[in-house]
Amino acid sequence: MRIDVLRADELTATHRATWRDLVARDPQLWGPFFGLGFVDMIARFRGDVLIAVFEFDGAVCGFLPVQRPRGARVAMPIGAPLCDYQGLIAAADFLPDWPKTLRALGVDRLDFPNALGEQQAFAASIRQSDEAFVVRFAGIEPPFSRWLRAQGSRTVRRLDGSRRKMGREIGEIRVEHHSASRAALDFLFAYKSAQYRRTRQPDLLDRRAWTRAVIENYATQAGEDLFGAMSVLYAGDRIAAVNLGLRTSRVWHGSFITHDPDLEMYSPGLCLFLDVFDEAQRLGLAELDLSTQSFGYKDKFANARRAVGAGFVGRRSLPCLARRAHYAALALAERLPLGPAKHWPAKAMRRLDLLRAMRSPNRAVF
């Protein structure tokens, strides 16, 4: 097997056609993080995007896009920490030569927090399994929100009441999909950034972070492979909630949602989700992806799950020994009777990974 490493702007028209064909064949790859549009968008903001191109018997059979900060011996998935899923752009049973791939990329280790569980390439390297929440529209008569009501969803009944009450007490409810409103984007940045600070999480929307520049591009993104998806719920002239994500021609992926905290009693963010579901179905999309981490509401809406897993692939090196020790410590903590404290090592590891991914591409990350 031959492996070439290219920058995004070095992909030929033939490469791009093959990429799109591989994506079209596998529903697991229909989401925005596996398309060329996402690769091109991230490459505009980071100069360290590399793509391993796999070729067998003279034919291209797969791609692996990553980002590798200057001088780093560890690669991360392209778009980390904004990419909610990682995987090979290849058939599900494709098995790369990982040592050879890592040598070609010039790294000792590749981390992945949410690799597709159905791809055999990552199966042996997954250290922690998880599942994502998905809304699938196949076989459901629109609108999806009506189907949820028909299932006897107490959550939807409660939200219907909250929506009516908000309309009476605050102002007439209206929803704007595919919005490019600067005011709505500023609203999301302000309240979401405040939430990150309040919960002591790394702020993806910090003005100094490269991630903010990418997220600012979400709402106006429009191309063959990737579209912005910002929906805004108004109560009268007041912005009550904003839902910002990305979509392809088949999948809508919600990434950021926030609401006016003074209107929290009406659950405007969850009310908006019902409108987003119906709009995604109206567009003829196959699914709306809610990603991992339930937060207490995703399992109320999702009617399907997607298997994912965290881990790494690597070759014998200090970075691999360190990562293996991290996962061993996590496994030990999970087995001990530590109560809530058993989750602290995993949270610390996720926080460090997030900070590592948020660093400038010009700074080495080991």
Q: Is the pLDDT of residue 365 over 70?
A: no
pLDDT single digits (tens) 217-265: 998 898 889 999 999 999 999 999 999 999 999 999 999 999 999 999 9
Q: Is the pLDDT of residue 53 over 60?
A: yes
The residue type found at 362 is N
pLDDT of amino acid 364? 43
CA 279 to chain centre: 20
pLDDT of amino acid 366? 41
pLDDT of amino acid 206? 92
Q: Is the pLDDT of residue 270 over 50?
A: yes
Q: What mean pLDDT is predicted for residues 103-110?
A: 97
The residue that leads in pLDDT, 117 or 362, is 117
Q: Is the pLDDT of residue 302 over 90?
A: yes
pLDDT single digits (tens) 68-93: 988 889 999 999 999 999 999 999 99
Where are the domains positioned within the chain? Answer: 2-133+306-357, 145-285
Contacts of 78 (CB under 8 A, 6+ apart): 38, 39, 42, 49, 65, 66, 67
Q: Per-residue confidence at 297, pLDDT binned at 50, 70, 90?
A: confident
Contacts of 6 (CB under 8 A, 6+ apart): 15, 50, 51, 53
Q: What mean pLDDT is predicted for residues 266-289?
A: 98
Dihedral over alpha carbons 311, 32, 173, 261 (to 10 degrees): 30
pLDDT single digits (tens) 308-321: 999 999 998 898 99
pLDDT single digits (tens) 130-179: 999 999 999 999 999 999 999 999 999 999 999 999 999 999 999 999 99
Q: Per-residue confidence at 334, pLDDT binned at 50, 70, 90?
A: confident
Look at the domain 2-133+306-357 and name its fold. Aminopeptidase (3.40.630)
pLDDT single digits (tens) 229-239: 999 999 999 99
Q: What mean pLDDT is predicted for residues 204-228?
A: 92
145-285 maps to which CATH number?
A: 3.40.630
Tokens standing for residue 176: 């704007």
Q: Which of 237, 300, 303, 232 is nearest to 269 (CA)?
A: 232
Maximum distance among all Cα pairs of the chain, rounded to whole angstroms: 67
Mean residue pLDDT of the chain comes to 93
| CA–CA dist 39, 229 (Å, integer) | 17
- β-bridge partners, 45: none
* 36-50, 68-82, 315-329: least confident range: 315-329
| CA–CA dist 333, 262 (Å, integer) | 39
> Measured at the alpha carbon of residue 303, what is the angle toward residues 38 and 161, in degrees to the nearest 5?
100
- β-bridge partners, 259: 241
The pTM of this model reads 0.93
pLDDT of amino acid 165? 99
pLDDT single digits (tens) 337-347: 888 777 777 77
pLDDT of amino acid 294? 73
pLDDT of amino acid 362? 62
User: Are 2-133+306-357 and 145-285 in the same CATH fold?
Assistant: yes
